[in-house]
Chain A
């Protein structure tokens, strides 16, 4: 059926030689998990072990990405390798979509099924309305949600603008205008940081905590994981900015930039859904 014959390709798919970074990464995550367990078990050393885990993880990420950047700059990556990176990033973002789908699934399940059915459980909780937003029938808490048209609306504007600035930076990169690239990236990083600052302010001002029933749990879980992704995106954008300043990107080869831009747009879309379904309606 399949009869192979030899062909001669000029560029061979780059297979790196052995690397210690993956095992360092495993040690980092195990240390982090062990530290977290100690922390949960109220052992005083817990946070320190977690700190060590984060430090090892940071070292690993720095070392691993340095290696990849060096290989990339040395021209070891063929177009086929570049395509692998594109597929890899796309499927990684798909896995993130699946993660947030689970969280949004929980939100819709509670709003459409759980709360109405608890509202009808008159034998157990005769006075419970079962209307979103709610802290549930047993906690005796009233929820005053964060209004959509204050900080959340401003944050929507900020993130949408940051999507525009990162695209503007990309145009600059494609047309060889390095100044536009750097300015666009710097603006995007600033907008990301501004978003995070406002989000922290919103948390500090909020009249409810993560312990306040299902609304508090879902609100902080959804916005918290999103905020964490914004934080990661901002850090990655900062690194891309530093690399842009070091002149790493050319108009036709700059997938690192594009990968972070894809990620940033993904985080943006998640925020729009959050704005509509958590803050607004």
Chain B
């Protein structure tokens, strides 16, 4: 389907990119900064993925094989924290940087210098976080949720992790302010809000969520820091404090946070599926309202993470029902994607394969989420591998696979080369199959009662764990093919036409490939 369409007619200011290291360190260009975000997230993806491989190696057989339990806790904690703050979120911000200005016809982000700062805080935070492995007492082992009292008891690495999360939070807030301002103020003439591509809508709403909840996380972890070092009693009942209060503060951030990681992924999927179905997105307006509804609901469901912590029955019922309500707008989205496919002229290029797998696998993750929303069931399943299976279905086959699909989709625009379609498809099938081998058995393990975050397990769990580990190693190795395919595409390949996908109709495809260093310096008029 690579039909070249002669498009670029813009008399752009063809100023060339600055050269040398300062191009990247001092950049104010949304494309360069987007690229930095994406490479950073890929590095962190491999780092945290390596930790996951170590976890699966330990769990390959029952008994303590490789690591002491304390170090195992550090592996699970750091895997979670880095995947969330280092891999998924920066990757999505990378997409926002590259795509939002191109999709709304803006010359750049609203605050180009602050954009640079948002990125360059991340390597600083990553350095601080990863170096916790090398300090006395080791890295953090309290779980990525950083619950007290465990998190108050660890060594200096815990303080470093708190400060690192502070830096990442500052980065996120600045990035979100930048995105929200860009969407509100930088749209080309005629690009009304309800004409914006859905990817832009999802990021607009995500940015709002970020600004609303990252400061609450900052509150919670600042209290941890003072409880640890300055003698406060926020989370200590003897002083009138409350460890449960931490959980409320954390999950008031934490639940919107999971939508922060999935809404832009919805946006990517809502871009890819219409393109390869060669039909406009079905139910655009209802998609916008669905995203807004999910964002609203995300603020009133947080305590479903705390059903076993203890709360009044009225509270359990409230949070159970609000959680189940989320299935309604999410269902609207899934049905709209399916309706978009209906009678479409569908082709199955790599991005489309990832998008279709997303719809199916994310729906599985959504359904297991509904199971967990039921209070009596959740009390059984809390902290078991069922939960691990659930959130990997929404975070890996949800966010991460949407990111991969989006990378293949926009690589031609970013690099000016077509990626290797054969390698892309192999990568997709390896990933999709290995993912399910890894995580599907975890549903059974969880239902049978295997607790998470424990390096050892009872003998009856051995078979499923070995299967999951084999799948995990395959999943990890498959991502090396992803790296190879991306690098190969960056370095060369068939020249990409301006619009390699003939169903694509957003503004970035009116630009040549690769997109010029400065694009839409004078905004296009959108009809």
Interface residues of A (CB under 8 A from B): 1-9, 12-13, 15-23, 25-27, 29-30, 33-34, 36-37, 40-41, 64, 80, 83-84, 87-88, 91-92, 94-96, 98-99, 101-103, 105-106, 109-110, 113-115, 118, 134-139, 210-211, 213-218, 220-221
Contacts and interface: CB of A to CB of B under 8 A. Distances in A.
Interface in B105-131: 105-108, 110-114, 116-117, 120-121, 123-124, 127-128
Nearest to A27: B124
Contact of B240 (A16, A94, A137): A137
A109 B219 CA distance: 14
Interface in B212-257: 212-216, 218-220, 222-223, 226, 229-234, 236-242, 244-245, 248-249, 252
Contacts of A6: 9-11, 522, 524-525
Given A7-B525, A98-B215, 9 more contacts: A1-B280, A2-B505, A15-B107, A33-B167, A87-B110, A92-B177, A95-B173, A106-B223, A113-B242
A2 B114 contact: no
Contact of A83 (B185, B212, B242): B185
Contacts of B239: 135-136, 138-139, 213-214, 217
Interface stretch (B20-28, B73-81, B324-332, B337-345): B20-28
Interface residues of B, number: 92
A132 to B, nearest CB: 9
B23 A18 contact: yes
B505 A18 contact: no
Contacts of A102: 215-216, 218-220, 249, 252
Contact of B233 (A20, A27, A214): A214
A37 B163 contact: yes
A41 B156 contact: yes
Which 5 pairs of residues, A with B, have the shortest CB-CB distance? Answer: A138-B238, A136-B240, A4-B524, A102-B219, A214-B240
A18 B242 contact: no
Interface in B249-280: 249, 252, 280
Nearest to A138: B238
B491 interface: no
Nearest to A33: B163
A88 B113 CA distance: 13
Given A1-B505, A6-B525, A23-B26, A13 B173 contact: no
Contact of B128 (A3, A8, A34, A114): A34
A218 B512 CA distance: 57
B336 interface: no
Contact of A137 (B110, B114, B237): B237
B167 A114 contact: no
Contacts of B28: 15-19
A18 B20 CA distance: 12
A1 B121 CA distance: 38
A12 B520 CA distance: 10
B177 A91 contact: yes
B233 A213 contact: yes
Contact of A96 (B166, B215, B232, B280): B215
A46 B159 CA distance: 14
B189 interface: yes
B234 A40 contact: no
9 contacts: A12-B521, A16-B113, A30-B127, A36-B159, A40-B159, A84-B110, A110-B241, A138-B237, A221-B223
B160 interface: yes
A25 B236 CA distance: 36
B329 to A, nearest CB: 23
Interface string B484-510: 000000000000000000000111001
B186 interface: yes
A261 B213 CA distance: 25
A113 B214 CA distance: 24
Contacts of B521: 12
Contacts of A29: 121, 124, 167, 170
Nearest to A43: B156
A105 B11 CA distance: 54
B523 A118 contact: no
Given A4-B105, A135-B239, A136-B238, A22 B186 contact: no
Contacts of A95: 173, 177, 211-212, 214-215
B526 interface: yes
A84 B29 CA distance: 17
A90 B272 CA distance: 34
B181 A87 contact: yes
B237 A136 contact: yes
A114 B124 contact: no
A99 B216 contact: yes
Nearest to A20: B26
Nearest to A11: B522
Of the listed residues B108, B163, B170, the one surrounded by the most CB atoms of chain A closer than 10 A to its CB is B163
A26 B118 CA distance: 9
Nearest to A217: B232
A12 B522 contact: yes
A109 to B, nearest CB: 5
A101 B216 CA distance: 7
B527 interface: yes
Contact of A221 (B25, B180, B226): B226
A98 B240 contact: no
Nearest to B237: A118
A3 B244 CA distance: 54
B506 to A, nearest CB: 7
Contact of B26 (A15, A18, A88, A215): A18
Contacts of A33: 124, 128, 160, 163-164, 166-167
Contacts of A5: 524-525, 527
B195 interface: yes
B64 interface: no
Contact of A114 (B186, B213, B241, B518): B241
B184 interface: yes
B188 interface: yes
Interface string B291-335: 000000000000000000000000000000000000000000000
A20 B25 contact: yes
A136 B238 CA distance: 6
